[in-house]
């Protein structure tokens, strides 16, 4: 799976990039077959923000955003939100398709 990490209007060090990659890899294990993930770090008026997008099969996209005083705490909050989304989706019971029955009775 491809993980893209970008920074807008801010600089992030290699340690934060490695930590981000590690956390995202752990969380996306909850998705059956993830396509790719996009993590964007921003800074606006002294407040750090993080947006995480995870693209899953069948066009599903999970997005988690967070803002905090520093990038690490914003990342942790966004990861927690994304994890909650993925766990909620996993817990929902999906209705199974009923098998079609023909009008002809089976002979035995």
CATH assignment of the domain containing 47:
3.30.160.100
Overall domain count for the chain = 1
Can you give the residue range of the structural domain that contains 16? 2-91
> Residue 74 falls within a domain, yes or no?
yes
Q: Enter the pTM of the model.
A: 0.80
pLDDT in tens, the chain (108 residues): 899 999 999 999 999 999 999 999 999 988 888 899 999 999 999 899 999 999 988 888 999 999 999 999 999 999 999 999 998 887 775 666 766 666 666 555
Contacts of 25 (CB under 8 A, 6+ apart): 1, 3
């Amino acid at each position: 799976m491809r993980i893209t990490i970008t920074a807008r209007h801010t600089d992030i060090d290699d340690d934060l990039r490695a930590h981000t990659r590690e956390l995202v890899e752990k969380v996306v294990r909850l998705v059956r077959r993830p396509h790719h993930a996009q993590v964007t770090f921003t800074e606006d008026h002294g407040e750090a923000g993080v947006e995480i997008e995870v693209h899953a099969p069948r066009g599903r996209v999970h997005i988690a955003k967070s803002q905090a005083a520093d990038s690490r705490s914003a990342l942790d909050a966004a990861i927690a939100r994304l994890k909650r989304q993925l766990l909620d989706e996993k817990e929902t019971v999906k209705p199974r398709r009923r098998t079609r029955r023909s009008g002809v009775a089976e002979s035995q």
